[in-house]
C-alpha cells in the first residue's frame, strides 16, 4: 500500500472516530402536569410515553401529578410546569380571565366522558335529592356537569350535598367505602363501578354538549420555546392517531392497565366507549364554537364577565382553530 493510500485511510479512520466521539444532541426536557395517571383521560400521555413519541420528537417528558385540576393549572401559571395535560377546561379559562400567563393549545377530550354512578339501591337521578355526591371540587367542571344532569330530573342546586375529590380514583374510593351516595366518574372506573354493582344513573354527554379537557401552556415559557410547543402538539396528534387505529386496541388496553391497575375487561370497555364515541379529539384543532358553549356556561354562572372573548384563550400562531 502506497504512502498516499495510507494517508487517506488514516484520515478516514480519524473522521470515523471523530463522528463517534461527537455527543448526541441532548433531548429537551418538558414538564407536564396532570391529575393522576389512572383515568382514561391520561391515555394519550401514556401512549406518547410508551410508544416513544416524545423521544422521537427529541423530548424527555417529566410528568408530575397534582391532587386537583385547580392545582394543576396553578402550577402551570406559576411556571413550575410547562404544560397541563388532560386537564378540565374550566380552570384554565378562569385563570386566563384573571390574567394568568396561560393559553389553550389543543383539545384532548372533545366531549365529557363522565358517568354518574350511585349506590346499588338508587334507581334514578331524581332520587339524589338530599343525598351526598362526590365531585371534583367547588369550582370544578364536574360540579357543572352534575348540576346540569340533576336539574332536568327535578333536583336543584342546594337540594343535594357535595364532597370534593380531584381525582376520579378518589371519588370512586369514596363511593366504594359508602362515604357518598353517588360519584361522577370517568372510564375505566365508571365501568368497574357498574361491574361491581353500582347503578349507572346517567351519562354526562346526554346532558352536556361542550368540550371537556385539553392541553394548556405557560405563555411566558412558550414565547421563547415556540418550536418545542409545536413538537408537543405533534406528539399528541400522533398519539391520538395511534389510539384511533383499531389495530392498536389490544396494546392500548395493556398500556392503560399498566398505569390504572384496573382489570382488563373494564379497560377494554373504556377503549371502545371513547373510540367509538369519538370522545378523543383527533385533528389537533379546537372548535371555537364548542369552546364558546363552555365559556357561555361560565358566564351564566357569573364565573367570568359577559364581555370575555373566547379568542383570549388561544396562543396566536400556535393554537389551531376549527371554526
CA angle 160, 203, 250 (to 5 degrees): 135
Q: Is residue 88 part of a domain?
A: yes
Domain CATH number, residue 158: 3.40.190.10
Q: Nine-digit cell at 1?
A: 500500500
> Which of 155, 185, 206 marks a domain boundary?
206
pLDDT tens for 17-39 read 444 444 456 889 999 999 876 77
My answer on whether 107 and 254 are in the same domain is yes
> Mean pLDDT of successive 10-residue segments in the chain (323 residues)?
48 45 70 85 94 98 92 97 94 97 97 96 98 92 92 97 93 98 95 96 94 96 98 98 98 93 90 94 94 92 94 97 89
Q: What pLDDT is attached to residue 25?
A: 63
For the chain, the domain total comes to 2
Q: Which of 97, 64, 57 is nearest to 81 (CA)?
A: 64
Residues 47 and 119 occupy one common structural domain: no
Strands (E) located in the chain = 28-34, 59-65, 83-88, 102-109, 115-118, 132-135, 161-164, 182-185, 199-203, 213-218, 285-286, 320-321
- Residue 134 sits in which domain range? 115-206
Asked whether residue 160 falls in the same domain as residue 283, the answer is no
Amino acid at each position: 500500500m502506497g504512502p498516499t493510500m495510507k494517508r487517506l485511510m488514516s484520515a478516514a479512520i480519524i473522521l470515523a472516530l471523530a463522528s463517534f466521539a461527537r455527543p448526541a444532541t441532548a433531548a429537551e426536557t418538558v414538564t407536564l402536569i396532570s391529575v393522576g395517571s389512572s383515568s382514561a383521560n391520561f391515555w394519550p400521555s401514556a401512549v406518547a410515553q410508551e410508544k416513544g413519541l416524545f423521544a422521537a420528537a427529541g423530548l424527555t417528558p417529566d410528568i408530575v401529578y397534582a391532587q386537583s385540576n385547580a392545582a394543576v393549572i396553578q402550577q402551570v401559571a406559576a411556571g413550575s410546569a410547562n404544560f397541563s395535560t388532560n386537564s378540565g377546561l374550566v380552570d384554565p379559562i378562569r385563570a386566563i380571565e384573571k390574567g394568568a400567563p396561560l393559553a389553550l393549545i389543543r383539545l384532548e377530550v372533545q366531549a365529557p366522558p363522565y358517568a354518574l354512578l350511585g349506590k346499588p339501591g338508587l334507581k334514578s337521578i331524581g332520587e339524589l335529592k338530599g343525598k351526598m355526591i362526590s365531585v371534583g371540587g367547588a369550582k370544578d367542571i364536574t360540579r357543572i356537569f352534575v348540576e346540569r344532569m340533576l336539574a332536568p330530573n327535578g333536583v336543584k342546586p342546594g337540594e343535594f350535598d357535595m364532597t370534593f375529590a380531584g381525582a376520579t380514583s378518589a371519588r370512586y374510593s369514596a363511593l366504594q367505602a359508602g362515604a357518598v351516595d353517588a360519584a361522577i366518574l370517568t372510564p375505566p372506573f365508571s365501568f368497574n363501578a357498574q361491574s361491581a354493582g353500582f347503578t349507572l344513573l346517567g351519562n354526562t354527554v346526554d346532558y352536556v354538549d361542550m368540550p371537556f379537557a385539553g392541553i394548556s401552556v405557560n405563555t411566558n415559557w412558550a414565547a421563547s420555546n415556540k418550536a418545542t410547543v409545536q413538537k408537543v402538539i405533534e406528539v399528541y396528534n400522533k398519539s391520538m392517531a395511534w389510539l384511533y387505529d383499531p389495530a392498536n386496541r389490544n396494546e392500548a388496553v395493556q398500556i392503560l392497565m399498566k398505569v390504572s391497575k384496573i382489570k382488563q375487561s373494564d379497560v377494554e370497555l373504556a377503549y371502545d366507549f371513547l373510540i367509538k364515541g369519538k370522545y378523543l379529539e383527533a385533528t389537533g384543532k379546537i372548535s371555537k364554537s364548542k369552546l364558546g358553549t363552555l365559556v357561555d356556561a361560565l358566564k351564566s354562572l357569573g364565573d367570568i364577565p359577559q364581555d370575555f372573548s373566547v379568542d383570549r384563550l388561544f396562543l396566536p400562531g400556535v393554537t389551531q382553530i376549527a371554526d
